[in-house]
Amino acid sequence: MKLKSNIATSETGFIFNPSTGDSFSANAVGMEIISLLKKNKPLNEIKKHILDKYNVDEAVFEKDYDDYIAQLQFYNLIDTM
């Protein structure tokens, strides 16, 4: 799972897709995941990072992560291959 290389992000949660002109905003956890995806981090590292930092169960995060990735795909922000 990889963020498309041309996607521009800012630390404040702003995301811009220059190829479509669409812009997005993400919350703090959403932004962290995007920046880890941008660094090509694998799922287990992303998961560890979030579980270490936030007060959340693994099962809850896994469910939310899958849903979030589906959203990123829906918005055409990640390469599915």
Binding site for other proteins (CB under 8 A): 15, 22-30, 32-34, 52-56, 60-61, 64-65, 67-68, 70-72, 74-75, 77
What backbone torsions phi and psi does residue 15 show, to the nearest 5 degrees? Answer: -130, 135
Give 1 or 29: the residue with its C-beta nearer to other proteins.
29
User: What is the separation of C-alpha 72 from the centre of its chain, rounded to a whole number of angstroms?
Assistant: 7
Handedness of CA 58, 59, 60, 61 (dihedral sign): positive
Smallest separation (angstroms) from other proteins to the CB of 36: 11
Smallest separation (angstroms) from other proteins to the CB of 13: 9
> For residue 79, what are the β-bridge partners?
2
Smallest separation (angstroms) from other proteins to the CB of 29: 4
